[in-house]
Amino acid sequence: MRILIAEDDLVSRRLLQSTLQKWGYEVVVAHDGSEAWTILQTEDAPRLAILDWMMPGLDGPEVCRRLRKVTASPYVYVILLTARTEKDDLIAGMDAGADDYVTKPFDHHELKVRLRAGQRMVELQAQLLATQAAISEQARRDALTGLLNRGAIFEVLKSEVSRAARERSCLSVVMADLDRFKQINDTSGHMAGDAVLREAALRMASSVRPYDSVGRYGGEEFLIVLPGCDYSSGMPFAERIRAAIADRPFPLQREDLPVTCSFGVASLGGPIGYLETDTLVRLADEALYCAKREGRNRVKGAQSELSYHSSVAQFVSE
């Protein structure tokens, strides 16, 4: 584990550094409080720190106060190194944000024990953060397909719509709906239907770029967000996804099942202009149902002529 030591006295600094290295720590050295504060602001700052109380510029307690003001996660465990032994001084150091203290000259066994306690705290916090991140990510995922769920994909879309409008860049959104999915459930069973949804999700996710997003919008409907994709790129992109679904039967337990999917595309940044998220989704949805009406297993695109009051959609296929 990496540990920061901040000590302005050369002899004390070298002794502390040598001791910690013998114990297997990777030591980062600061010569005063200002340098320590600079190091602690970096993204990969050590999560354990030993700060001398008395240093020129910023002393140990002041570094603690600044640290606690700006960051709570990931946590830096701070031990103050001090010659002060008065209870009021030690309380003041802890109030500044220190987690523990060691008196000078330090006892090797005492320092080792206190560092072990600090390391356990840092490791527990890292585990807690990882667990929280996993729970948060799980809450954004559809349990069946592993794709983003409806709320999460819509948040992604809103963010990308705002970015496209701000940067005057392009964005395409694709609505996809598996054709005759109810018939699959009725004839092959709901377990087969679930398998079809999982396989469709896998093929869609495998067909997009790393920075695109795919989500299950509801039932057998999916939403795909393609940043930087204008209408002329979004249509063939959707066509490639359509082909990935239709060109190979879906492998089920009892049979290989041919499955098709219909797609509707709406894009920002071209003739359609810049719209609100709900309007963009509505246009893609209307294009999707136009594809359904015209025979399914196809891609339709929405282009819009905008007036101040309304949007009139025209549908074209490519």
pTM (predicted TM-score): 0.67
Q: Domains of the chain (ranges plus CATH)?
A: 2-137 (3.40.50.2300), 150-317 (3.30.70.270)
Listed as ranges, residues in the chain with pLDDT below 70 are 71-72, 270-273, 303-318
CA dist 54 → 79, 80, 81 (Å)? 13, 10, 9
Are 186 and 236 within 8 A, CB to CB?
no
Q: What's the pLDDT score for residue 315?
A: 46
Q: What's the pLDDT score for residue 272?
A: 64
Which tokens sit at 103?
């008196």
Could you give the CA distance from residue 153 to residue 155 in angstroms, rounded to a whole number?
A: 5
Choosing from 220, 239, 286, 318, which is the catalytic residue?
220
Q: What's the pLDDT score for residue 99?
A: 93
35 given a catalytic annotation: no
CA dist 198 → 44, 251, 310 (Å)? 38, 11, 38
Half-sphere exposure of 139 (CA within 13 A, CB side): 6
